[in-house]
Structure 1
Amino acid sequence: MKRIVIGVVGVALLAGLFSFTWLGGDHSFEISRNLNIFTTLYRELNTHYVDEVSSEKLIGDGIEAMLKSLDPYAAYISENDIEDYRTATTGEYGGIGAIVGQRNRANTVIMPYVGYPAHTAGLKIGDEILEIDHQNLENKTSTEISELLKGQPGSEIVLRVKRYGRDKPFDVTLTRSKITIDNVMFYGMYNETIGFIKLTDFTTDAGSEVKNALDSLKSAGATKIILDLRDNPGGLLDEAVKVANVFVEQGKEVVSTKGKMASWNKTYTTPYASADNDIPLVVLTSRATASAAEIVSGVVQDYDRGVLVGTRTFGKGLVQATRPLPYNSQLKITTAKYYIPSGRCIQAIDYSHRNEDGSVGKIPDSLKVAFKTSKGRTVYDGGGIEPDIPVTPQKFSNLLYNMVSQNLIFDYANEYAFNHPEIPAPRQFELTDAEYIEFVTWVKGKEFNLSSQMDDAIKALEEMAKKEKYYEGMEPTIEKLKAKVSTLKENYLETFKDDIKFMLEEEIVSRYYFHTGMMEASLDHDPAVLEAAKILADTQTYSKILNQ
């Protein structure tokens, strides 16, 4: 059987030797020569290599390496991965409607989507899934579990669940449904006049969801809008045009694409009358605002339609298209670059050298080119969109992140929800000092490693001192440092009380109000939202930013 598979791969590749005659000349010969080398090399490996080789893995690794050498976004989508790709682009799949992940090495419900099977069947955040259709989940990967949970809408699935506060596991029977993930994760009134819209994706219907949210907020009294595009990875280009069209009048250029082939050189304009092209607008951006979300941010800035607040965006201005390949696989290939109305290209000048999170690094002024907005403000290219008003994201101590990563905040929220049947609305809920003391007592009774970068640095110093044979002279100093850090840790829960309380309150709110509650609870503590509200409240400042 293996020989048959290899034969098919070889025939497919050899067929390619004769399919490039349209290129003509030396280029066609080069392609044929290198494909011949590749197939011969593979045949020799398969025949003579000491161990058995997997044709699918070996060819797959070769394709992946080839595409990775071009840019970070070209990709091979195998038949096995095609459904995940469709889910990412459409926001639809068949399943139970819940985020499931690892917590304390257990397969745990992280967040059920309101109104879908997991939620209506009564699954709660923190529920551990022990079995799916009587299959034990020990040693199964997150991908394997995700595949078991997905299925045709209308099909039944049985989960064995362990819940906090219940002695024995129990079975829950759910009927899978078509899950459509909303692009607008949350919208609501920030105060009496300012509406807030959180857009998390640009899958199908993103434009209509933003329009509906805007109409609803205006009916509720909103005369100003905050559009939150932070951490939005982008998506469909057509939906970027439609979202921009909500705030930009008909017939305006949104984006143009330029590529090697003339067929990819297109200009996209707003096709409809806008929902409101006058309402004061602030758009929030972050280092993870990418692609379609950057187009919308750039359009708002280039037309001086609103104020951008936050941090420089990701810098992904490359257009991807999918091309069909044999056996139901596809090639996602970069075909063009995006250019926004001022003429700027969103793409980072050098996409091979970025920050650790993939976003644009510092760009030398000498590499930037100046452009003008519709009102004559100077803006620059070089990668991503620079906000009009920079706001540094809220940062927490590494010690607090360690508490979160060790699931202390998550576990306590489960216990709190078990002991409190209900809480006030998200923005009204607040832990009392007495309740915080209860949490402190609870934490001290747990075994956990409250480590920090200081611990790591002291440990490295100690090891170096021992290696370099001067530990005896350094020992008193090192021990004093250890004692000082230990004291800091003992006082940590009081020193960082406000930050810990905020994370606790947000996590607890999620047990009662889910995704939307978490977002609503964060509004009054979010530096970028607070700055946006301040700008919108001051008409003179808002106007000055857009006309300077």
Structure 2
Amino acid sequence: MKKLLNGRIAVVGVAVTAIVAFFSFKSGDDRNFQIAKNLDIFNAIVKELDMFYVDTIDPNKTIREGIDNMLFTLDPYTEYFPEEDQSELEQMIKGSFGGIGSYITYNTKLKRSMISEPFEGTPAAKAGLKAGDILMEIDGKDLAGKNNAEVSQMLRGQAGTSFKLKVERPNVRGGRTPMEFTIVRESIQNPAIPYAAVLDNHVGYINLSTFSGNPSKEFKKAFLDLKKQGATSLVIDLRGNGGGLLDEAVEIANYFLPRGKVIVTTKGKIKQASNTYKTLREPLDLDIPVAVLVNSGTASASEILSGSLQDLDRAIVVGNRTFGKGLVQVPRSLPYGGTMKVTTSKYYIPSGRCVQAIDYKHRNEDGSVGTIPDSLTKVFHTAAGREVRDGGGVMPDIVIKQEKLPNILFYLVRDNLIFDYATQYCLKHPTIVAPEKFEVTDADYNDFKALVKKADFKYDQQSEKILKTLKEAAEFEGYMADASEEFKALEKKLNHDLDRDLDYFSGDIKKMIASEIIKRYYYQRGNIIQQLKDDDGLKEAVKILNDPVKYKEMLSAPVAKK
């Protein structure tokens, strides 16, 4: 790996380059003058710090922080990747990396990382690693004191290389059993389609998790397989899909739209950043009814697919307003093996609208940013004449009320209590029934409650915090004397009661426990099946797909009022 041999030489070299550039500009070019002037000032500051600052500065660290802060003032997507971080950028673009194929989490009590979710068919799963395994050593190096990012970096490496991993696995006696594995790293590609199936009433379902890699190929195969199995309508689930490659979104849209349709247009400052992307092939199916599930985690390429299908009246969009990322990034090569991922343009879907929700150019006085207010958004129209708006993601045709998870559930997950219970459950149950039939019984839940109480579980109650603030305000404004009895009664009713909360929110907690247990046996596929059991968004999508008259009406031009 290339390294800077001497920080001072590098800094002086850059300064000289900037000075030469400074004198090469025309005096009348004020913009170039300002750039050269500020580059000269920046380099002079670095030189002065290196020569005179009381402590020796690390030029790589100091300048890197300066670069990162400069780029952050633009938008969070313009990033610098030095040579040693190129694998991270490659993973972002291709959706693949060399590693073992598992999520890891940090155990705050043990101060060590542990396996949280091995992916099906990856080296982690093949070797026999299980959720709950505490990571002790990698090739003899103790992992104590290392955070998740450091451990993750050690687990990754070139595909085909091997290493020895020592873990400690919880056992039924309450202790931990030392184990050692020899693992060969592979190129890990997160599955673009972790689950696809034909549901009731011949409704096909495809969960599309990413647009990185080559998901269009997987999508085509999954869709054609579902049609062979009898699917007569389709749900595309893009919830939580943060995007990826623009071309892949266009390709998948092409499966349901005629050749020659404009899917997205990019517009930037320079000519090379402005392009129009059209469907280039014959479609797979122009007639099958389609519904697309979206939420606030649906972003970028996912918004291109869902938004273009909405703008061209080809699908009903169901769920919640999408994230609102309408900015396009491209990689630009830099000296010394570095790369900058830079925002070069905005994208516009067929109606002409841009879904970008945050205006990074016009910041508040304190530097913060905010979403574009609804009052400043503009009305556009779909191909059939339906009204849609810009400035804030894709608004669904059918909005689903967002489920609010109870406060206690956040703390149960944060303290790894649901995770620890699932680990114990799996030690006692070598197998479980299929995900479709699995459920957490009352007896199982009683065992979980016992584990929570034994752990001396503590959590914040928002009602108690708000009541305390209200009391302070009442005292400050002089109302406390007259309202003291009412406050006492309210305090009694809002008293912290763990038993009551565990019983009252048992439905939500049981669902989370079931998901954690099922993915130990059936991986991501099983977890998705569990989550779809009581899914309001899916229910609405299936409902509209099973009503051809309503489906056609929703995608048609609005009837003019007399």
Confirm or deny a common fold (TM above 0.5). yes
Distance, in Å, in 2 between the alignment partners of 1:466 and 1:395 is 32
Measured after TM superposition, the shift of residue 458 of structure 1 is: 4.3
SS at match of 1:319: strand
- Change in 2 beyond 3 A, CA 1:255/1:3: closer
Q: CA RMSD in A?
A: 2.7
Question: Counterpart of 1:330?
Answer: 339
Question: Counterpart of 2:248?
Answer: 239
For structure 1, the residue ranges without an aligned partner over 5 or more in a row are: none
Distance, in Å, in 1 between the alignment partners of 2:496 and 2:331 is 57
| Correspondence for 2:69 among 52, 65, 68 | 65
Measured after TM superposition, the shift of residue 459 of structure 1 is: 4.9
| Correspondence for 2:330 among 318, 321, 336 | 321
Matched, 1:452 2:458: no
- Change in 2 beyond 3 A, CA 1:310/1:403: same
Question: Counterpart of 2:16?
Answer: 14
User: Aligned partner of 1:382: which letter?
Assistant: G
Question: Counterpart of 1:86?
Answer: 90
Whether the aligned pair in 1 keeps the contact of 2:112 and 2:145 (CA below 8 Å) is no
SS at match of 1:271: coil
Question: Counterpart of 1:55?
Answer: 59
Measured after TM superposition, the shift of residue 281 of structure 1 is: 0.7
Measured after TM superposition, the shift of residue 314 of structure 1 is: 1.3
Deviations 1:391-410 (A, max 9, x none): 12222111122212211111
Bigger drift between 23-32 and 73-82 goes to 23-32
Matched, 1:142 2:142: no
Whether the aligned pair in 1 keeps the contact of 2:112 and 2:146 (CA below 8 Å) is no
Measured after TM superposition, the shift of residue 3 of structure 1 is: 8.8
User: Aligned partner of 2:541: which letter?
Assistant: A
| TM-score, structure 1 as length reference | 0.93
| TM-score, structure 2 as length reference | 0.90
Matched, 1:44 2:48: yes
Question: Counterpart of 1:544?
Answer: 553
Number of aligned residue pairs: 544
Question: Counterpart of 1:162?
Answer: 168
User: Aligned partner of 2:59: which letter?
Assistant: S
SS at match of 2:200: coil
- Change in 2 beyond 3 A, CA 1:87/1:499: same
Matched, 1:5 2:14: no
Distance, in Å, in 1 between the alignment partners of 2:32 and 2:470 is 60
SS at match of 2:131: coil
Deviations 1:12-55 (A, max 9, x none): 34314444757872222222222111111111122222222111
- Change in 2 beyond 3 A, CA 1:135/1:188: same
Q: How does 1:298-377 map to 2 (within 5 A)?
A: 298-348=307-357, 350-351=359-360, 361=371, 363-365=373-375, 367-377=376-386
Whether the aligned pair in 2 keeps the contact of 1:309 and 1:390 (CA below 8 Å) is yes
Matched, 1:508 2:517: yes
Q: How does 1:491-502 map to 2 (within 5 A)?
A: 491-502=500-511
Question: Counterpart of 2:287?
Answer: 278
Question: Counterpart of 1:129?
Answer: 135
Measured after TM superposition, the shift of residue 59 of structure 1 is: 1.0
Whether the aligned pair in 1 keeps the contact of 2:18 and 2:40 (CA below 8 Å) is no
Distance, in Å, in 1 between the alignment partners of 2:543 and 2:479 is 56
Matched, 1:255 2:261: no
SS at match of 2:495: helix
Deviations 1:490-533 (A, max 9, x none): 31122122112111111111111111100111112122112111
Question: Counterpart of 2:192?
Answer: 183
Deviations 1:59-90 (A, max 9, x none): 11221222222223211112222111111111
Bigger drift between 144-153 and 185-194 goes to 185-194
Whether the aligned pair in 2 keeps the contact of 1:18 and 1:32 (CA below 8 Å) is no
Distance, in Å, in 1 between the alignment partners of 2:363 and 2:233 is 39
- Change in 2 beyond 3 A, CA 1:49/1:118: same
SS at match of 1:402: helix
Distance, in Å, in 2 between the alignment partners of 1:312 and 1:293 is 12
Distance, in Å, in 1 between the alignment partners of 2:36 and 2:514 is 63
Distance, in Å, in 2 between the alignment partners of 1:531 and 1:359 is 34
Whether the aligned pair in 1 keeps the contact of 2:327 and 2:343 (CA below 8 Å) is yes
- Change in 2 beyond 3 A, CA 1:376/1:325: same
| Correspondence for 2:543 among 527, 531, 534 | 534
SS at match of 1:125: coil
Bigger drift between 23-32 and 277-286 goes to 23-32
Deviations 1:375-415 (A, max 9, x none): 11111112211111111222211112221221111111111
Measured after TM superposition, the shift of residue 462 of structure 1 is: 6.9
Measured after TM superposition, the shift of residue 471 of structure 1 is: 9.2
Whether the aligned pair in 1 keeps the contact of 2:363 and 2:369 (CA below 8 Å) is no
Whether the aligned pair in 2 keeps the contact of 1:245 and 1:274 (CA below 8 Å) is yes
Measured after TM superposition, the shift of residue 457 of structure 1 is: 3.0
Whether the aligned pair in 2 keeps the contact of 1:282 and 1:306 (CA below 8 Å) is yes
Distance, in Å, in 2 between the alignment partners of 1:364 and 1:353 is 17
Distance, in Å, in 2 between the alignment partners of 1:95 and 1:62 is 31
SS at match of 2:90: helix
Whether the aligned pair in 2 keeps the contact of 1:228 and 1:285 (CA below 8 Å) is yes
Distance, in Å, in 2 between the alignment partners of 1:538 and 1:392 is 21
